Structure 1
Amino acid sequence: MIVAVCGGKGGVGKSTLAYELAGALDALAVDADLAVGDLPRGRGPDLHDVLAGRAAPREAVRGGPVSVLACGRSLAGARAADLGRLEDAVRRAAGDRDAVVDCPTGLRADTGVPLALADVCLLVASPRRWALADAVRTRAVARDLAAELVAVALARVGEDPPTAVVRATLAAPVTPVPETPALATTLDGESSRPVTERAPETDAAAAVRELATSLRACRPYYDGVE
């Protein structure tokens, strides 16, 4: 199963949640934001190289606490990347595992490509009411591309998050994800261990597990399992 993690607004922790969900699902995390990659990367080939035909998908997967197919950081690499190769690259890199794809933010032209190849999507939304319009537009793109919206992560919430308003607006289950240092450090440092390992008792870890459960519930349908 391929899961697209998308968002209408930047800076709400979309990449962090994509990485965390890949860890919770024992899946491959794929950084599909060709212009502004955020997921951890190591040495060797990356997604830019794969999409330019310079490396095999499996060759570019970096092991660690979470397996990652990271993206390059150069504009030249982004220009050389052939988005038509993305679906094959993701499926080959993931093998028999799920893949969690960190999509570009907003409604850029390249956002639709990972959404089009995904089986389901998870939308990361801001709790600010004025930001819901961006989330609604992103949901509409996902719907047009047949990426089923499974859940909404209401990111970086404080007390009394507008969960009911977001649920009614986006017509999907909503999981509040609290603002916490435990999540803020997920993509920092050498180990990049998921919060479900580093701080399993926190509310943030509980939110990640809840979102992962929603995604697992879709797996039998997309795997063709009765």
Structure 2
Amino acid sequence: MILAVTGGKGGVGKSTVAYNLGAALDAVVVDADLGMADLPAGRGPDLHDVLAGRAAAVEAVREGGPVDILPCGRSLAGARATDPRRLVAAVEAVERHYGTVVLDCPAGLGSDVGLPLLVAEASVLVTTPDEVALADAVRARALARELDAGLVAVALNRSGETPPTDRVARTFGAPVVAVPERAAVARGMANGLPAGRVECDAGEAFCELAGRVRSVSR
């Protein structure tokens, strides 16, 4: 299965959700943001190399950490050297080898978002309760629907003490999982540790999201 994590507005926590959802699903997380990579990286080939024809997709997957990742390069020169049209074949190759792929999509609604959604079979939408974020998420949902990346669930990130889950569920017509803001999650991301490893209630929310995904992939 190939799952896109998208959301429209930047800064809503898509990368955090993608990383933790990948951990809960035992999936490979692909950092598909070619211009502003945000997931942990390391030495070796990355997605820029794959899309420039310098490496095979499976060769670029980093194994052995808490989450398997296909990271993206962080240089402007690397991004310019890529052929984004190769993304679909690269992601499909990773899926064939590993089984489940989570795509961390870029912010916005441009063609760089369309390609990950095009290859995805389903999507999880990430938003905060902020009205601007919700408005952008509505547009992101429309794009996902147009590209047949059916909406599995909405991750209402940094949900606050009284999350508006019912209102958000009515807006998007999908189940909503409230993800509380916890400093432990941010510290874990900085050290490459998913929420399940730092033992906080946000980890339970990511497990619930994973359950929603599994229910549609059977």
Category of TM-score, reference length = shorter chain: over 0.9
1:156 aligns to what? 158
1:209 aligns with 2:204: no
Tell me if structure 1 keeps the 8 A contact 2:91–2:119: no
How far apart are residue 96 of structure 1 and its match? 3.6
Give the Cα separation in 2 of the matches to 1:108 and 1:156: 25
Q: In structure 1, what is the equivalent of residue 82 of structure 2?
A: 81
Equivalent of residue 144 in structure 2, options 142, 145, 151: 142
Query: What fraction of aligned residue pairs are identical, expressed as a percent?
Result: 57
Rounded to whole Å, the distance in 2 between the matches of 1:74 and 1:48 is 9
User: Which stretch shifts more, 148-157 or 103-112?
Assistant: 103-112
- Cα distance in 1 for partners of 2:58, 2:98 equals 12
* Aligned-residue offset at 1:84: 1.4
Aligned counterparts, 1:108-123, within 5 A: 108-123=110-125
* Deviation of 1:130 (Å): 3.5
Q: Distance in 1 between matches of 2:86 and 2:45?
A: 16
Alpha-carbon distance in structure 1 between the residues aligned to 2:214 and 2:119:
18
Q: Does 1:168 align with 2:166?
A: no
CA drift at 1:107: 0.9
Greater Cα shift, 134-143 or 79-88:
79-88
Aligned to 2:67: 66
In 2, distance between residues paired with 1:181 and 1:83? 35
Q: State the superposition RMSD in angstroms.
A: 1.1
The 4+ residue runs of structure 1 with deviation greater than 6 A are none
- 1:49 partnered with 2:49: yes
- Structure 1 residue 97: deviation in Å? 1.7
Shift of 1:121: 0.2
In the alignment, structure 2 segments of 5+ residues that lack a partner are none
Tell which deviates more after alignment, 13-22 or 122-131.
122-131
The runs of 5 or more residues in structure 1 that have no matched partner are 221-226
**C-alpha separation in 2, matches of 1:69 and 1:91:** 13
- Residues 35 and 130 (structure 1), Cα distance of their counterparts in 2 relative to 1, 3 Å cut: closer
Q: Distance in 2 between matches of 1:40 and 1:109?
A: 24
Q: Is the 8 A contact 2:188 2:198 kept in 1?
A: no
Give the CA deviation at 1:198: 2.3
Describe the superposition over 1:195-219 as per-residue Cα deviations: whole angstroms up to 9, x where unpaired.
11221xx220110000000001111
Task: For 2:33, give the aligned amino acid.
Answer: D
CA positional deviation for 1:72: 0.4
What is the identity, as a one-letter code, of the residue corresponding to 2:81? Answer: A
Which amino acid in the other structure matches residue 120 of structure 2?
A
- Alignment length, in residue pairs? 216
Cα deviation, residue 37, structure 1: 0.2
Amino acid at match of 1:22: G
Structure 2 distance, partners of 1:183, 1:102, is 17
Match of 1:224 in 2: none
Q: Is the contact made by 1:156 and 1:178 (CA closer than 8 Å) also made in structure 2? A: yes
Deviations 1:127-172 (A, max 9, x none): 1134311110000000000000000000012111111111111111
* TM-score (structure 1 length as normaliser): 0.92
